[in-house]
Structure 1
Amino acid sequence: MSTLTLLLLAGLLPAFQLQAPDGDSLTRTAITAAWAAGAFGLLGALVWPLLVRALLLVPALVLGLLGFFINGSLLLVALWVTPDGRGAADPETAVVVAAVMSAVASATSTALAVRDDDAYRRRLYRLTGRTRA
């Protein structure tokens, strides 16, 4: 889903590109989007737990806003490590793209777990800090 979101945003936002300046095939652009989505997911999984621990003393509102900028920075790094340097975005656009990707991922996971009572219970247990009996 992240790859499709990146492809859609690359088509909608002129400051966000996933192909070489002289153009690429749709397949090559999709491969670049898949690389960027994978790198973004991997960076998020590795970096976010460390950042959350480091920023525990930061007020919640600031951390919430800072999260968008951190995700935008992670997306810029993910685009930088794509093969042949085909991915590029302005910093402001990277923040927007990362926010949309997070919203789509959240909506997708919520839609897939709508009728899953176990997922709901796990979430409640996690929020209360308790373990299952």
Structure 2
Amino acid sequence: MPTARAQRGAAVEAAAQAYLCNAGLQPISANARYRGGELDLVMRDGDTTVFVEVRYRASAGFGGGAASVDLRKRRKLVLAAQLFLSSHPALAAQPCRFDVIDAWGEPPQLNWLRDAFRLEDC
């Protein structure tokens, strides 16, 4: 049985996916786990593959969830994205980007940070 925290995380990720779908993105994968990292959501925005990190905090104080996507976390996301693309060669030739959904509160408020960081930032 999932913990309350895991249930909360799953609910926030589902809300984030619905939000992005309403914005026109299409889901490719969710919770793709790889050695050393996990991709919360993988979406399609036109011809771009979008790797989405969903970060939830009970409040927006202390920098919110987006501030917790530090250099170490970005490197893990990049590694997981590279592994994902190696197992999906048709997507590997397309452009990609890294977005962050910063979520807080109850019900969760969502702030979508498109192109939150780039590969060269890592």
User: Normalising by structure 2, what TM-score?
Assistant: 0.34
Which one has a larger percent helix, Structure 1 or Structure 2? 1
| Larger gyration radius, structure 1 or structure 2 | 1
TM (norm. structure 1) is 0.32
Greater length-normalized contact order (CA 8 Å, ≥ 6 residues apart): 1
